Structure 1
Amino acid sequence: MLRFILRRLGVSALILFLGSVFLFFITVFSGDPLEDLRESRDRTAEQQMEARIRNMNLNEPWYVRYWMWLTGVAKCVTLNCDLGTDSRGADINTALVNAAGSTLRLVTLATFLAIIIGVTMGILAAIRQYSGFDYAVTFAAFLFFSLPVFWVAVLLKEYGAIRFNNWIADPAISLTATIVIALLVGLTLASLLGGDMRRRLLTGAISAVVAFGAITYFDTVGWWRQPALGLPLIILVAAAAGVLLTYLTVGRGNRKILYAALTTVAAGAVGWFIFNGWIVTPTYPLLLLMLGISLVAAIVIGWFWGGWDRNIAIWVSIGTAVAFAGATALDQLLRNWGPFLERKPRPISTIGSGSPNFEGPFWTGVWDWGVQLILPTVVLTVISLASYSRYTRASMLETIRQDYVRTARSKGLSERVVISKHALRNALIPITTIVAFDFAGLIGGAVVTETVFGWKGMGALFQEGLTRVDPGPVMAFYLVTGTAAVLMNMMADIAYAFLDPRIRT
């Protein structure tokens, strides 16, 4: 495996080198970087031209300029990169760090959400092939895949930002909207859970009534501007996660795994009281410390209850602890939504990746950092969602028709075990390839999204370099995207060996 990785790294390095030479060449000869100054009547145009020639080393041949860039990149091995200056004399290293931070913040979240939601929808659609849920997922996938990115972005700016900001100033949901939302929730859950017609009608009716009651209650108490979960709901969410993880791993046969999960929930409730002061006014180091304590406690609880299935108990306990921690963080975010609205009455901006000079406590700062992610993240997630769901569905349908899956069923294994332990693991092998290409592609494909929402990310850096015929920012963009593509493909190869032991040989 090590020899394979080293060989792949060598080939990838050669490809990156040849690609960088070609990209530098076509960027340099794509126009005249001094064209705007040659036509300028400004008295300082000549001084500006001399400064630009000096900043971009225009007196040197293109291959000398490329060598200067390459030697600067070689210093990255010692974590001392020198990417030079752009046409205005600004340090490209600083610009790249800021741009990569904005784009990776956006792309990482969008990819993570697209994988979770898309793969889950694809698995459920394959299990319920030709059902109403399957047809709905198929329709949504083709619809989202065919939508132009810029058009979706503009619609989200109108309805997700401008009209939402108007609504949140005095939030209220009409009776008609409440009924429509409740019916949609009922239809979705009925098609998702399946069963005979009577069971679907009962499930849909109960879900619709619960949704109608919840929305009416939230509207009556003004929950939209002063939301919260509270400890009882946090415990309920964590317990539900523990039960779900127990069912997915060992089913209902091993009670010790369930006891480990519930004990983790109880320990989390005790920790909620002990660390409440840190939770209300935290810092990032304190959050990491509390998460570390939670994970250690979960490992100890899983080891204590596990017995013969100790490893499974530990992982279920860890998952339950993470769910408890996530619900606790969500509760604090919801509690600080009202204070955030007081500081920023129109919370969702249509331009930019943050509010300049915004000041506030920790959780309101997280709101300001996070609301700017919502609209562009939704755009990128929706576009990627289609491919993940369709590929997962096709891969699952192919896998569950294999002979070893039929053998597993004939041995009397439950459908949960057949799907989760036999079919899913092999069905995920093609998905790893899509994830690798999609992550690297989103970094470059976010150019349109960043332009519409005014993000100063990698897209703006790349576009500025092309507009000014400046190879510095363009090559910085290539350095990040190319390296990301190589690393993600390497991780995909390693994931193949993990998912299918036959590949290791």
Structure 2
Amino acid sequence: MIVFIARRLVISFFVLLAATFIIYVLTALSGDPLEDLRQDNSPQKETKIADRVERMQLNVAIPLRYLGWLGSIARGDFGVNRDGQNIAIQLGDALSATLQLVLAATVLAITVGIVIGIISALRQYSGFDYTVTFAAFVCFSLPLFWVAVMLKQYVAIEFNNWLADPSIPPVVIGLLTLIGGLTFGALTVGERKRRLVAFAVGSVVSGVLFTVLSMTRWFADPGLGTPLILAFGLAAAVGSTILVAGLQYRGPLYATLGAAVIGTLSSPVLGSVLADPTWLEIGGLLLLTIAICAGLGYALGGLQRNQAITATILTGVFTGGMVFLDRLLQAFATYSVTVRGRPISTIGARTPNYNGDFWHLNIDSAGHLLLPTLALILVSLATYTRYSRASMLEVMNQDYVRTARAKGLPERTVVVKHAFRNGLIPITTLMAFDLAGVIGGAVVTENVFGWRGMGFMFIKGLQEVDPGPVMAFFLVTGTTIVVFNMIADILYAYLDPRIRLS
């Protein structure tokens, strides 16, 4: 493994070196960096031109300029752009903005896409499978700029207007009721009568839920409350137990249920801490939650102790997330008043000159992140869903999966421990390219929503024929791609023991 990593690092170094030379030369030859100054009619025109020529070393041959840039990079100096601004500072701000924009969207797209793809594969040729396939192809074919504009119009402008009187029209409630029933029916496996019963139950639940939300004006002053947090926590306890350990042993189930109850009851106890916390305190509470859940799983897990610890930690973290979300929603009404009833923003990363407590500042960030995150998720989600479905269908037909079933192993064990692990191998390649690519920024999304991230920095550098910012962008993205592809190669050996990197 060490020899493999060393070999890849050496090869990647020379590949990056050649690529940086090509990009530098192409950028330098792409236009005239003095074009704007040549059209300047001010008395200082010649002085400005001389300053820029000296700053960008335009009187030096391009290969020599590249060698000078390479020497500065070796010393850890990114230099300055054509206006004399420090590129390292620009790069730090742009990278921070890009990570804030695309990291959450990419992680959510990967997680949700893989889960939906696996369920679709396990429910092949069902109503759910056909629906997911249709939705995936529709989302995959939508232009990103069009999706972004539609989100700005209907999820921001129209939704902000609707929040002034958040009552759901009866026609919309009827449509949501139908969608809820169809979703329940599509997720149900069995004969037609069973699916019809699931459709009826889903329709009733959805209709009652949205009617209550409309009558109570929940969207104007949202919140979960202790009963809903407990219900979600108990559902997560059962789900995580089924996924990790199965229900044939009671120890893991008791541990996860205990974690859900303890997490729900901790919300009133931690009232003073959660009034205006810091991220350091939130991180401390997360570590405390993991420690308590691990101890609970160890004490009650019995023979399935390891699985109980994993399931209990998942339940505890999920319940803690519900408590965090409840506190965030409780601050929504007061935040909406401070921003004049426009909580969903259409441009920028934050409200200018806005000050508030921890919850208000995070709602402000979430309101600015919502639209670009949704735009990126809708496009990426389709890709991960289709890849996950195809990979799982291929794996589920392998001989070792049939052998596992023939041995009498539970279906959960066959899917989670045998099929899912090997089905992740093609997805790992896709994730490596995607996670590395998003560091380069979402150029279209950043332009539509006014984010000054890596994509904005790259486009501006090209327009100004300024190799400094372009090379800083390329150096970060190129190195990230090399690193993530190496991580993917290493993960192959972990996911499939048959792969040997030596």
Runs of 5+ consecutive residues of structure 1 not aligned to the other structure: 76-80
Aligned counterparts of 1:82 and 1:208: Cα–Cα separation in 2: 62
Q: Output aligned runs, 1:195-344, within 5 Å.
A: 195-344=190-339
Percent of aligned positions with the same letter in both sequences?
48
SS of match in other structure, 1:280:
coil
Moved more, 492-501 or 252-261: 492-501
Q: Which of these residues, 411, 416, 422, is aligned with residue 415 of structure 1?
A: 411
- Per the alignment, residue 383 of structure 1 pairs with 379
Aligned counterparts of 2:106 and 2:222: Cα–Cα separation in 1: 28
Is the contact made by 1:426 and 1:499 (CA closer than 8 Å) also made in structure 2?
yes
1:347 maps onto 2:343 in alignment: yes
How far is 1:133 from its partner?
A: 1.2
Aligned counterparts of 1:16 and 1:172: Cα–Cα separation in 2: 57
Is the contact made by 2:24 and 2:467 (CA closer than 8 Å) also made in structure 1?
yes
- Per the alignment, residue 59 of structure 1 pairs with 59
- Per the alignment, residue 497 of structure 1 pairs with 493
How far is 1:243 from its partner?
A: 1.0
Aligned counterparts of 1:482 and 1:123: Cα–Cα separation in 2: 32
- Per the alignment, residue 399 of structure 2 pairs with 403
- Per the alignment, residue 98 of structure 2 pairs with 103
Paired letter, 1:459: G
Is the contact made by 1:107 and 1:439 (CA closer than 8 Å) also made in structure 2?
no
How far is 1:113 from its partner?
A: 1.0
Is the contact made by 2:106 and 2:377 (CA closer than 8 Å) also made in structure 1?
yes
- Per the alignment, residue 357 of structure 1 pairs with 353
Per-residue CA deviations over 1:73-94 (Å, capped at 9, x if unaligned) read 223xxxxx32111111111111
Is the contact made by 2:244 and 2:310 (CA closer than 8 Å) also made in structure 1?
no
Is the contact made by 2:245 and 2:308 (CA closer than 8 Å) also made in structure 1?
no
Per-residue CA deviations over 1:382-438 (Å, capped at 9, x if unaligned) read 111111111111111111111111111112222222111111111111100000111
1:189 maps onto 2:180 in alignment: no
1:429 maps onto 2:432 in alignment: no
- Per the alignment, residue 7 of structure 2 pairs with 7
How far is 1:169 from its partner?
A: 2.2
Moved more, 64-73 or 479-488: 64-73
Aligned counterparts of 2:476 and 2:22: Cα–Cα separation in 1: 16
How far is 1:190 from its partner?
A: 1.1
Is the contact made by 1:436 and 1:488 (CA closer than 8 Å) also made in structure 2?
yes
Paired letter, 1:356: P
SS of match in other structure, 2:33:
coil
Aligned counterparts of 1:212 and 1:145: Cα–Cα separation in 2: 30
Is the contact made by 1:299 and 1:318 (CA closer than 8 Å) also made in structure 2?
yes
Aligned counterparts of 2:166 and 2:50: Cα–Cα separation in 1: 58
Is the contact made by 1:119 and 1:392 (CA closer than 8 Å) also made in structure 2?
yes
Runs of 4+ in structure 1 off by over 6 angstroms are none
SS of match in other structure, 1:278:
coil
How far is 1:504 from its partner?
A: 4.3
Aligned counterparts of 2:200 and 2:44: Cα–Cα separation in 1: 75
- Per the alignment, residue 469 of structure 1 pairs with 465
Q: Which of these residues, 482, 485, 500, is aligned with residue 481 of structure 2?
A: 485
Paired letter, 2:62: W
- Per the alignment, residue 73 of structure 1 pairs with 73
Aligned counterparts of 2:495 and 2:11: Cα–Cα separation in 1: 24
How far is 1:306 from its partner?
A: 2.3
Paired letter, 1:57: Q
Aligned in 2, Cα 1:427/1:69: closer, same or farther, shift over 3 Å? Answer: same
- Per the alignment, residue 162 of structure 2 pairs with 167
Is the contact made by 2:230 and 2:260 (CA closer than 8 Å) also made in structure 1?
yes
- Per the alignment, residue 109 of structure 2 pairs with 114
- Per the alignment, residue 78 of structure 1 pairs with none
- Per the alignment, residue 92 of structure 1 pairs with 87
Paired letter, 1:420: V
SS of match in other structure, 2:153:
helix
Is the contact made by 1:225 and 1:338 (CA closer than 8 Å) also made in structure 2?
yes
1:143 maps onto 2:148 in alignment: no
* TM-score between both structures, scaled by the size of structure 2: 0.97
How far is 1:501 from its partner?
A: 1.9
Aligned counterparts of 1:482 and 1:318: Cα–Cα separation in 2: 36
Is the contact made by 1:226 and 1:335 (CA closer than 8 Å) also made in structure 2?
yes
How far is 1:445 from its partner?
A: 6.0
Aligned counterparts of 2:486 and 2:164: Cα–Cα separation in 1: 49
1:50 maps onto 2:50 in alignment: yes
Aligned counterparts of 2:398 and 2:306: Cα–Cα separation in 1: 29
1:368 maps onto 2:361 in alignment: no
Aligned in 2, Cα 1:130/1:270: closer, same or farther, shift over 3 Å? Answer: closer
- Per the alignment, residue 27 of structure 1 pairs with 27
How far is 1:370 from its partner?
A: 1.2
Aligned in 2, Cα 1:170/1:44: closer, same or farther, shift over 3 Å? Answer: farther
Is the contact made by 2:255 and 2:308 (CA closer than 8 Å) also made in structure 1?
yes
Aligned counterparts of 1:3 and 1:105: Cα–Cα separation in 2: 35
Aligned in 2, Cα 1:273/1:351: closer, same or farther, shift over 3 Å? Answer: closer
Aligned counterparts of 1:195 and 1:164: Cα–Cα separation in 2: 39
Per-residue CA deviations over 1:272-300 (Å, capped at 9, x if unaligned) read 33322112211111111111111111111
- Per the alignment, residue 446 of structure 1 pairs with 442
Aligned counterparts of 1:42 and 1:501: Cα–Cα separation in 2: 70
- Per the alignment, residue 36 of structure 1 pairs with 36
* TM-score between both structures, scaled by the size of structure 1: 0.96
How far is 1:154 from its partner?
A: 1.2
RMSD value over aligned CA atoms? 1.5
Runs of 5+ consecutive residues of structure 2 not aligned to the other structure: none
Paired letter, 1:422: H
